[in-house]
Amino acid sequence: MVNRVCVVIPVHKQHPTNAEVLSLRACTRHLASYDCYLIFPQDLDVSAYTTIFKSLLPRPVTPQWLASIEAYNKMKLDLRFYNMFSAYTHMLTYELDAYIFSDKLNQAHAFEFDFIGAPFFEGYWEAKPDAQLVQGCNSGFSVRNIQSCISVLSSMNKYRKHWIFYKLFLSPSRHIRLWLNRLTNNRYEVFITGRFAFYFDGFHLNEDVVWTEVVPKLFPNFSIADGRSALQFAFEYNLPQSLQLNGGNLPLGCHAWPKHPEFWKEYINFDNLT
């Protein structure tokens, strides 16, 4: 099956920063051969973006979807969002604090998993230099299988009875929760920790944690990139160690590069960044 990829670039303000302009220009260089959609709140003037990337496809969405970080995370867990792009096989999310170095998506394992992004290290953003890779990937620069995401979100309601059971009978008793968790080989961990509440309650959880840590517990066939493959795709933090573990090679791209200028200045031209 031929991979048909769309690129999704979410924005929520009229004018990009200088760093975001650099990110968008890198996207223009390496991803212009794909259908690239600018996702923005209805009625926002996005001419500053389309002037830089002339083939961008404007796709306005309800302003509530981009009203806050929490709302944005909810959008990326909304079946309606994925149905908008159901004509494609894969979605590449390119937030404008991402940067892409080449167009070689196949060589970076972009289509081998249901979700791939910069890998998580133990301790996450507070990871120490000797931290180990752990399951999970960041979504700021990522690729996900659209049909797999649609399948998961279309099947979530079958867990509603488990959620009601948890709320009524399990949540008051730590002993019963732990017993049931052991009985189900830790599968009930998503209920015990409250992480499942992202879907049935007002609980906030970053959507990349949902897709790469919670969903695989409920849908074991939903495949997440292993750490070594993910490093070939993207870096986000623990950068010197990431480079070392990747054999001294740059990944396809990176996320949150403006937070680490001392590392990235060797690889990204900051001349126009003021």
On average, the pLDDT of the chain sits at 89
Question: Residue range 112-141: average pLDDT?
Answer: 88
Task: Convert the pLDDT of each residue in 172-226 to its tens digit.
Answer: 777 777 787 777 777 666 766 667 777 777 778 889 999 998 899 889 999 999 9
Look up residue 117 and give its amino acid.
G
The answer to which of 2-6, 34-38, 106-110 has the lowest mean pLDDT is 2-6
Domain membership of residue 270 (yes or no) is no
CATH number at residue 65: 3.90.550
Question: Residue range 41-45: average pLDDT?
Answer: 94
Domain membership of residue 81 (yes or no) is yes
User: For position 163, what pLDDT does the model report?
Assistant: 75
Query: Quick one: 136 and 47 in the same domain?
Result: yes
Identify the domain containing residue 65 by its residue range. 5-154+223-264
The answer to which of 51-65, 120-134, 163-177, 243-257 has the lowest mean pLDDT is 163-177
Please, which pLDDT band fits residue 273 given cuts at 50, 70 and 90?
low
**Could you say which DSSP state residue 256 is in?**
S
Query: Quick one: 165 and 258 in the same domain?
Result: no
The number of distinct structural domains making up the chain is 2
User: For position 166, what pLDDT does the model report?
Assistant: 73
Task: Convert the pLDDT of each residue in 243-265 to its tens digit.
Answer: 999 999 999 999 999 999 999 99
Query: Quick one: 19 and 143 in the same domain?
Result: yes
Give residues with Cβ within 8 angstroms of 109, minimum separation 6. 116, 225, 229, 230, 232, 233
Task: Give the integer Cα–Cα distance in Å for 255 and 257.
Answer: 5
Task: Give the integer Cα–Cα distance in Å for 45 and 41.
Answer: 9
b/e for 245-270, b at 16 or more Cβ within 10 A? bbeeeebbbbbbbbeeeebbeeebee
Alpha-helical segments (H) within the chain: 18-31, 47-52, 69-75, 79-83, 146-155, 160-165, 174-183, 189-192, 197-200, 207-209, 215-218, 227-233, 239-245, 261-264
Question: Residue range 98-104: average pLDDT?
Answer: 96
Query: Quick one: 133 and 214 in the same domain?
Result: no
Strand 35-41 with 5-10, pairing: parallel
Helix (H/G/I), strand (E/B), else coil: 222? coil
Question: Residue range 57-82: average pLDDT?
Answer: 94
User: For position 3, what pLDDT does the model report?
Assistant: 65
Domain membership of residue 104 (yes or no) is yes
User: For position 192, what pLDDT does the model report?
Assistant: 64
Q: Which of 40, 35, 76 is nearest to 57 (CA)?
A: 35
Cα dihedral 177/221/131/92 (nearest 10) = -120
Share of the chain above pLDDT 90, in %: 69
Tell me how long the chain is: 274
Task: Using alpha carbons only, give the angle 128, 132, 133 rounded to the nearest 5 degrees.
Answer: 115
Domain membership of residue 234 (yes or no) is yes
Question: Residue range 228-253: average pLDDT?
Answer: 94
Question: Residue range 98-109: average pLDDT?
Answer: 96
User: For position 193, what pLDDT does the model report?
Assistant: 67
**Residue recorded with tokens 């990337």:** 53
Query: Quick one: 24 and 125 in the same domain?
Result: yes
